[in-house]
């Protein structure tokens, strides 16, 4: 699994960023495989509660690994990625300024939603069973979040450096 993910990193680009990105995901997947196979079958099914401390911890860990991975994936150099991560960890005030006042509240909302939404359900399929006002509110909320987070300048395609 680790070798496969390292190769996926190389496939995305011949840069240490992508190799580290693939390695991070490979190690995380392998660690999860080792952890999951050592658990009894009744525990593997989960508690059914999104608020169980183990469920919240697992989701927070997964989100953290993925978000660190996106930093590695999205920066030009490994030095810049580490600088970016260091600034996040130390809450440094220099660096990229948050121009939109909506970024932090929407990020907090997405974090809370990620932690509490039951991932064993398919919300897209369930949406058609909601009442019309609930569907309109859901779609309007998603559209508003997208509109508020539209970048003010153009962002190059993710594989432009490939």
Q: Which residues are catalytic?
A: 12
Nearest to 63, CA basis, from 117, 18, 12, 104: 117
| Cα-Cα-Cα-Cα dihedral sign, residues 93, 96, 97, 103 | negative
Q: Which residue bears the tokens 């970024």? A: 103
> Helix H segments across 13-162?
16-37, 41-44, 53-74, 78-90, 103-116, 123-127, 132-148
Determine the Cα–Cα distance for residues 122 and 52; give it in Å rounded to an integer.
20
Distances (CA, A) of 93 to 16, 88, 97, 116: 27, 9, 8, 31
């Amino acid at each position: 699994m680790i070798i496969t993910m390292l190769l996926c990193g190389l496939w995305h680009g011949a840069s240490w960023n992508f190799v580290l990105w693939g390695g991070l995901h490979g190690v995380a997947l392998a660690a999860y495989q080792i952890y999951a196979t050592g658990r009894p079958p009744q525990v593997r099914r989960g508690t059914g509660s999104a608020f169980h401390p183990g469920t919240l911890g697992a989701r927070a860990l997964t989100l953290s690994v993925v978000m660190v991975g996106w930093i590695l994936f999205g920066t030009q150099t490994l030095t810049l990625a580490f600088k970016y991560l260091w600034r996040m960890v130390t809450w440094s005030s220099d660096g990229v300024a948050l121009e939109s006042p909506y970024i932090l509240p929407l990020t907090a909302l997405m974090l809370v939603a990620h932690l509490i939404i039951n991932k064993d359900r398919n919300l897209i399929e369930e949406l058609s069973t909601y009442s019309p006002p609930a569907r309109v509110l859901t779609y309007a909320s998603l559209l508003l979040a997208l509109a508020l987070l539209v970048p003010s300048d153009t962002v190059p395609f993710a594989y432009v450096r490939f």
